[in-house]
Amino acid sequence: MTVATSHRHRKVAEPRPPLALKQSRLPRWTLPVLALVAVGAGCGIGLVAGLDSTVQWGLIAALLFVLATYLLTTAVEGTRQAKDRLATSAVWTAFLLAVVPLASLLWETVARGTKVLDGYFLSHSMGTLPDALPGGGVYHAIIGTLEQVGLATLIAAPLGLLTAIYLVEYGRGRLAKVVTFFVDVMTGIPSIVAGLFVLSVWILILGFGPSGFAGSMALAILMMPVVVRSTEEMLKLVPNELREASLALGVPKWRTILKVVLPTSIGGITTGVMLAIARITGETAPVLLLVWGAKTINNNPFDGAQQSLPLYVFQQWQQGSDASYDRAWAAALVLIAFVMVLNLVARGIARWKAPKAGR
Amino acid sequence: MDYSTSPLSETPPPPPAAASVSGRTVRPGDRIFLGLSRGSGVALLVIMAAIAAFLTYRSVLAISGDKSNFFTTLDWNATGTEPKFGIAVLAFGTVVSSVIAMAIAVPVAVGIALFISHYAPRKLASPLGYVIDLLAAVPSIVYGLWGALFLVPHLSGLYGWLDDYLGWTGIFSYSNGAARSLFTVGILLAIMILPIVTSVSREVFLQVPRMHEEAALALGATRWEVIRMSVLPFGRSGVISASMLGLGRALGETMAVATVLSPSFLISASLLDPGGGTFAQNIASKFSEADTFGQDALIASGLVLFVITLLVNGAARLIIARRKEYSGASS
C-alpha cells in the first residue's frame, strides 16, 4: 500500500489510495521452497536431537512447513488466505500421514512375504514339521479357506438374495421394515460374536466337535447382511419400466423377477456377493473358535479341525520363531492377493455389466 | 416415488386364460416364490433372535456361577470351584482403545476425504478413492501381523519421547518395555478404520450440491471457507455416522488387538505401558484353555460386546435416517 501511494503521490485529487483489485500474493515458488526448507530443517533437527525414527523427522518437517506457510501468508496475503493455506496444508498432511502406514503395510507384506513364497509353500501342508524349523506350507489352509468360504457362500448367498428380492419386490408393511432394521443390526455384529453364537449352539448345546462347517455357519451369518444390502441396492437400480412392460405382457411376477429383474442386475449382484466373499475370507475370529486349526490336510469340512489362511497367519505368528514369522508373512501375502483379486474382479464385473439405464 | 408404490406392480394383469376365473388370481409359481423370499427374510429374523437368545442363555449360566461381581471384578479366573471373573478391565480397555482410535482416525479420515473430494487433482481423485476402497478390504489379521512385527518396534522411540515430555501426566509414562500397549492398539485400530471412515465421508462430501459450493465461491470465499460453509455442514451427519460405523468396527476388532496387545488383568492409568485387554481380544486369547464353563464366561463377555456394538450401530443408523429426511427436504 505504501508503495502504491508513493507511486501516485502526484495525483493530488485522490485522498485515498485506490482499492486494489488484485490482492498481493505470494509468488508461486514460495510453497515448494518452504517445503524443501521444512524437510531440511526436519532432518536437521532429527539428526541433532538424535531421534532414530524417520517418521518423527517427517512429523517435525510437516509441522514446520504448516507453521511457516501460515505465518508467511498472514503477513503477505491476510488472515483469510492464511487460513485457507493452513487448511490445505492440513488436508495434505492428513493424506500423507495416512499413506505412510498403509503403504508400509502393503510394502512389508510383499517384501517379507515373498521370502518363502514359492510352489513348494503353496502345495504342501505343515504336516509333522516342528514350528521352529523352516519349510512347510499353506496347502491345507488354502483348502480349508476355500471349503469354508464356499459353504458359507452356499448358505448365505441364496438366503441373502431371496431376502433382498423380498424386500425390494414384495416388501411392504411391517415385516419388511423389521427385516430391513435387523439386516442393519446384523451388519454390525462383531465377527467374534457370530463365532460365539455358533459355538454356544453347535458345540456347547448340540455337542458337535470343531469342523469347517461350524466355521462356515458363522461366516454365513457375517456374509448374509452384506449380500442383502448390496443386492437390494442393485435391484432398486432396475428401471421400473422393465417390470411394468413384462407384467403388461401377462408374464407372472415370479417369472418377471427371474427373467427380467435378475438378469438386468446380475452384474451388480455378482459384484456384491464377491465383495462379501472377500470380506469373510479374511475373518479369523470365528474360525479360531470353531475350526481350531489343523496342521495336516483335512479335505472334509464336516468332520474334524481344519485350517484356514487367516488362522494360519495367526498361529504361525503365535509360534514366534523366525521361520514361522516368514510363513506368517507369506500366508498373509497369499491372503491379501486372494482378497485383492476378488475385489478387482468384482469391480471389473460391476463396470462391465453396469445397467445402462440406471438411476 | 418408485415402483414399490406403483399400482402396476401390485397385481399383474391376469392373462386371458385366467381372466375368466376371477380378477385376482394368484399363480402357484408366484405363491412359491413369495413364500421362499419371505421365508428367507423370516429366517434372517430367526437367526438374529437365536443369537440373542442363546448368548443370553449361556451368559446366565456363566454369571450365576460367578462367585464375584461380573461387572466390577478385576480378574478373569473362570476355572475351578471358585470362579471369579469380571469385565471391568475389558470394558476399560475396549473403550479406551476405541476412543484413542477415533481421536486419531476421524480427523485424518475427514482430511483424506476432503483431499479426495476437493483438493486432489481430478485425475488422481478417482484412483485414490479406488485404492482406499481396496484398503478397506485388507483382512484384519494382516493389520495385526504388521502391527505386531513392524509397528510395535517402531513406536518405542515415540513413546520414550512422549514419556520425557508428558510422563508427568501419568497417562503417558512409559517404562521402556515392548510397546504392546492399549495406546498402540488405539493407533493400529485407527489405521484399520481409516479406509472405511474415509470412504463413507467421501461419498457424503461428493453429494454436496454443486450450487451450494458455487454460491459460496461467487461470494468470494476461499476454498477453505467453501468447505467450512457448505461442505462440512452438509456432511456433518454423514461424517458422524461414518465414525460410528468405524467405532463399531474398532469395538469388535479381535485379531489385530490379540496380536499387538500383551494382556494383563489390571486397569492402569499409563496407556503406553503393556497391559489391559479388550472384550474380543480376551475371548480369542482365553478360548483355547477354557473348559465349558470358561467358554460360557467368555460368551457372557461377548454378549456385553454385542449389546455395546448394537447401541453404537443403532445410534449411527438413527443419524443416517435423520440425514435422509434432511437431504430429501433440501434437494
Closest residue of chain B to A246, computed from CA coordinates:
B12
Whether the CB-CB separation of A301 and A112 falls below 8 Å is answered with no
Q: Which three cell numbers stand for residue B177?
A: 518395555
Of residues B138, B194, B248, nearest to A98 (C-beta): B194
Per-residue pLDDT reduced to its tens digit, A102-122: 889 999 999 999 989 999 999
pLDDT band at B178; cut points 50, 70, 90: confident
pLDDT > 50? residue A4? no
Q: How far apart are CA A224 and CA A186, in angstroms?
A: 8
Q: Say what the pLDDT of residue B95 is.
A: 93
Q: How far is B34 from chain A (nearest CA, A)?
A: 7
pLDDT band at A66; cut points 50, 70, 90: confident
Distance of CA A120 to the CA centre of its chain: 30
Q: At what angle do helices A262-281 and A322-352 cross, to 10 degrees?
A: 170
Domain locations along chain A: 24-113, 139-352
Q: Which residue has the cell 518405542?
A: B156
Whether the CB-CB separation of A227 and A312 falls below 8 Å is answered with no
More confident residue, A309 or B24: A309
* Contact residues for B120 (Cβ-Cβ < 8 A; gap 6+): A95, B128
Closest residue of chain A to B39, computed from CA coordinates:
A163
For residue B247, give the 3-state DSSP assignment: helix
Superfamily for domain range A139-352: MetI-like (1.10.3720.10)
Q: Say what the pLDDT of residue A16 is.
A: 60
**Which one, of B251, B263, B231, B21, lies nearest residue B117 by Cα?**
B231
pLDDT band at A22; cut points 50, 70, 90: low
Is the CB of A187 less than 8 angstroms away from the CB of B9? no
pLDDT > 50? residue A163? yes
Q: Percentage of residues in chain B with pLDDT exceeding 70?
A: 90
pLDDT band at A8; cut points 50, 70, 90: very low
Q: How far apart are CA A178 and CA A156, in angstroms?
A: 19
Q: Tell me which chain A residues have a C-beta less than 8 angstroms from the C-beta of B297.
A: none
Is the CB of A332 less than 8 angstroms away from the CB of B37? no
DSSP A257-320: IIIIIHHHHHHHHHHHHHHHHHHHHT--HHHHHHTB--SS----TTSS-B--HHHHHHHHHHH-
Per-residue pLDDT reduced to its tens digit, B142-158: 999 999 999 998 888 78
Q: How far apart are CA B119 and CA B125, in angstroms?
A: 9
* Contact residues for A340 (Cβ-Cβ < 8 A; gap 6+): B134, B137
Q: Say what the pLDDT of residue A206 is.
A: 93
Is the CB of B40 less than 8 angstroms away from the CB of A102? no
Q: Say what the pLDDT of residue A330 is.
A: 95
Distance of CA B66 to the CA centre of its chain: 30
**Which one, of A201, A282, A314, lies nearest residue B288 by Cα?**
A314
For residue B282, give the 3-state DSSP assignment: helix
Per-residue pLDDT reduced to its tens digit, B59-114: 999 999 888 888 888 888 888 788 888 899 999 999 999 999 999 999 999 999 99
Q: Say what the pLDDT of residue A53 is.
A: 65
Is the CB of B134 less than 8 angstroms away from the CB of A325? no
Per-residue pLDDT reduced to its tens digit, A67-85: 888 888 888 888 888 888 8
Is the CB of A102 less than 8 angstroms away from the CB of B16? no
ipTM of this complex: 0.86
β-partners of residue B274 are: B181
Q: Say what the pLDDT of residue A140 is.
A: 94
Q: Say what the pLDDT of residue B177 is.
A: 78
Q: Say what the pLDDT of residue B1 is.
A: 41
Whether the CB-CB separation of B281 and B261 falls below 8 Å is answered with yes
pLDDT band at B275; cut points 50, 70, 90: confident
Q: Which three cell numbers stand for residue A226?
A: 452384506
Q: Say what the pLDDT of residue A149 is.
A: 96
Q: Say what the pLDDT of residue B273 is.
A: 85
Per-residue pLDDT reduced to its tens digit, A204-260: 999 998 999 999 999 999 999 999 999 999 999 899 999 999 999 999 999 999 999
Least confident of A38-52, A225-239, B199-213: A38-52
pLDDT band at B7; cut points 50, 70, 90: very low
Q: How far apart are CA A140 and CA A327, in angstroms?
A: 13
Q: Across all residues in chain A, what is the average pLDDT?
A: 87
More confident residue, B212 or A355: B212
- A196 CB within 8 Å of a chain B CB: yes
Q: Which three cell numbers stand for residue A207?
A: 455337542
Q: How many CB atoms lie within 10 A of CB A78?
A: 13
Q: Tell me which chain B residues have a C-beta less than 8 angstroms from the C-beta of A97.
A: 108
Query: Which run of H or of E encompasses B85?
Result: strand B84-85
Q: How many CB atoms lie within 10 A of CB B65?
A: 14
